[in-house]
Structure 1
């Protein structure tokens, strides 16, 4: 049920929700206090929530670990509030979030959102990136409860994203709480390594400075947060996320392991269903989406995806598919299952599924090449027929995303004199594939001409049937 304060017409816009007695933090980091603006003044259909920033003053000591001041309550009212806070903590300790996740596994995003806002009130906030997770804000609005929204401004976002932030604030009548990176840390990184060092040594360091540390400071003022993570978003990292969990990576206002709860209301929702919801509810969208962008981050590290590509391939495209996390959700990254692929006496794959991971590209039109088979292709300078081979890993969402088009292509080429094959190039075979088969990231597609000693790497990231056919026809 929505707070009575949110709907009462008698509440002044200057009335304040009672301040948490534990809100004073070292380094002037303060817990948020909210001013309630009656929704009936200007927009009858929506509430307007004016919220002070998570941290009104940036800490003077650059320390990622922020702890509350230990101070005795000055008044009886503060003592009562402190006692209530301890009672709330004891109640939270009794919650089995694994069990709660199982109970909510089949719940709708709206039900999960309502549960999160009801349970944590002003101690929870929605993490908004400026992409399709605007759906989270719409779900929060539909609950009728007050809610908070924060976002990380890395200083390198697209202009379209900043305009989108402004449109969202006006549409919902809210103030997004922006978190910024430490200027001295950014200055040191750029001076020492340049503006685009991530193209050479990976994106993790830049993301740590511009995103992870600001997020850590933001979460230290909360007891829970809400994300737009979905299981279908990223290969190898998000497939098992629950709808609610004890955050494995960050700490909340109380500090320590288990002090922060992470809610993922759309974990079980597919991207197309998110977009159906966004269109139905007619909410603002980032104009970059109409330009082919699906997953949107910083401007230097984001680009549109092409036909046949998975949405996360637009992020950090120069890196391996499994590295496509910035660190905000590093707790998702699980150990890679199935590092090794057993073979029988003929060198063929002994099994098609390893540790529960099903194989892909399973059709009679595609030859499953073993290590000896791919070695033979490399050694032959005069082949009886040309070959098209995909280097893949079955856990890779990008490989899974092109499976339908590759199978269709194989069936089209059946009987034409061109062989179509696949070679599993992860695990023990990865080093060999990188050194001998030009493997950069999954999937890599190679064409072995009839009269050539070396394979030709498919240079495009378009993996639709027509594009692949054009590549083959140009080399036949």
Structure 2
């Protein structure tokens, strides 16, 4: 057996890092690191166990546990978020696990948030993982769950929707009602309510939210916060803490980390999927598209949250869409943001103008019209290509126009103009009353020109 002097300092530090869960008392023969190395962490007072009488020992344990609970409850998470704003994901997760021990869990969706599990594994601390099985996931995602469990030697804690609620929804509205009336109801039954039940068993949870995932709803998430939407183990407002360790990390850096650490990933990623959810509501994205365009693609960009992080959406109007950099001002629920597609080559159609265009059966010239909302990040993303297209078509016999279809114009656009999500692009031929909807998500100049040339 090796003597104490033969124990390396690395092994001692590792033993210190991998000690018991938050709230437990550990016994040490030696101190592994100097006090200054433990700054930012609560320092444990360590004494030889035999120096305490049994009664005094129990009192010491009780006092330590009470002290731990009081310390956690008195933390200012707003201040902690500022302190850890520039900390690494590894440091943030280590702090979270240190503070909450067995009362915190990682929410794992089967996508690139496997990075959270890898970070937790690297801390050397015990950790828990849970996932929501909606019953509508891709087969590849279920297979990935099994791979992750075996790779890390863990058991994922699965939460399922209430079978009675699912049966009621399917019997009354069918299996695919979300394509007609939006995804919120289905997500509420299959995801939000199961999540609510799961979180009632924890005091904190760890999510894979990133600011770059959805500029409209996630641009201002902190690395740690009091959860604005759900309750934790103790119940009541403020009883659940939400950690977002990769909030400030770019998606490309997450993937660099996964490749570097040789972390297993969902095979759907190699098929063009980036953001992965339920099978009917998720599809691959094309090069250049934002990752959230693969989720609920038939709906507006601003609605692309399932409800698990609905606290983000409540911030959207109060922040006036500041994340898009367009100087938004919200009036009567409609964003009066600086307009886009602003060029003399594009005709700005009013409501009477688009109605007249609809009525004409014999037009002198065909029209290409985009139905847009200036606050929509996907409309903003295609602005340069649409402007370039309009300038190329100037004088060619094809008119290019735009119609702002959000706000009070949205019901009309949905009923009369085939609006599904922003942007929607329509071609009005010379000799047909009904416009033809551009079916592709590829909005580069060449693809749009091919569409026009096939119909003009």
**What TM-score, normalized by structure 2, do the two folds share?**
0.76
Shift of 1:194: 4.0
CA contact (8 A) 1:392 1:444 kept: yes
1:373-452 superposed matches below 5 A: 373-375=353-355, 377-378=357-358, 383=363, 385-452=365-432
Query: Is residue 274 of structure 1 aligned with residue 254 of structure 2?
Result: yes
Per the alignment, residue 179 of structure 1 pairs with: 159
Match of 1:435, SS state, is helix
Q: 1:137 aligns with which of 117, 129, 132?
A: 117
Shift of 1:164: 0.9
User: Is the alpha carbon distance of 1:81 and 1:416 closer, same or farther for their aligned partners in structure 2, counting shifts above 3 Å?
Assistant: farther
Shift of 1:117: 2.4
User: Is the alpha carbon distance of 1:208 and 1:174 closer, same or farther for their aligned partners in structure 2, counting shifts above 3 Å?
Assistant: same
User: Is the alpha carbon distance of 1:235 and 1:359 closer, same or farther for their aligned partners in structure 2, counting shifts above 3 Å?
Assistant: farther
Shift of 1:145: 3.2
CA contact (8 A) 2:178 2:185 kept: yes
CA separation in 1, counterparts of 2:350 and 2:63? 66
Q: 2:82 aligns with which of 67, 84, 102?
A: 102
Per the alignment, residue 33 of structure 1 pairs with: none
Per the alignment, residue 284 of structure 1 pairs with: 264
CA contact (8 A) 1:180 1:210 kept: yes
Query: Is residue 243 of structure 1 aligned with residue 223 of structure 2?
Result: yes
Q: 1:90 aligns with which of 47, 70, 89?
A: 70
1:194-273 superposed matches below 5 A: 194-234=174-214, 236-273=216-253
Match of 2:314, SS state, is coil
CA contact (8 A) 1:244 1:263 kept: yes
Larger Rg: 2
Per the alignment, residue 147 of structure 1 pairs with: 127
Q: Deviations over 1:320-351 (max 9, x none)?
A: 3333322211111137649x9xxxxxxxxxx9
Which sections of structure 1, spanning at least 5 residues, go unmatched?
A: 21-74, 341-350
**What TM-score, normalized by structure 1, do the two folds share?**
0.73
Aligned length: 406
Per the alignment, residue 3 of structure 2 pairs with: none
User: Is the alpha carbon distance of 1:4 and 1:301 closer, same or farther for their aligned partners in structure 2, counting shifts above 3 Å?
Assistant: farther
CA separation in 1, counterparts of 2:288 and 2:402? 17
Q: Deviations over 1:204-256 (max 9, x none)?
A: 33322322222222211211111111223236332332222110111111111
Q: 2:303 aligns with which of 316, 323, 333?
A: 323
Match of 1:334, SS state, is helix
Per the alignment, residue 107 of structure 2 pairs with: 127
Per the alignment, residue 136 of structure 2 pairs with: 156
CA contact (8 A) 1:390 1:421 kept: yes
CA separation in 2, counterparts of 1:109 and 1:5? 20
Per the alignment, residue 286 of structure 2 pairs with: 306
CA separation in 2, counterparts of 1:262 and 1:428? 36
Which sections of structure 2, spanning at least 5 residues, go unmatched?
A: 1-9, 25-54, 321-325, 331-335
CA contact (8 A) 2:366 2:427 kept: yes
CA contact (8 A) 1:308 1:405 kept: no
CA separation in 1, counterparts of 2:387 and 2:260? 34
Give the structure with the higher percent helix: 2
Provide the alpha-carbon RMSD of the alignment: 3.6
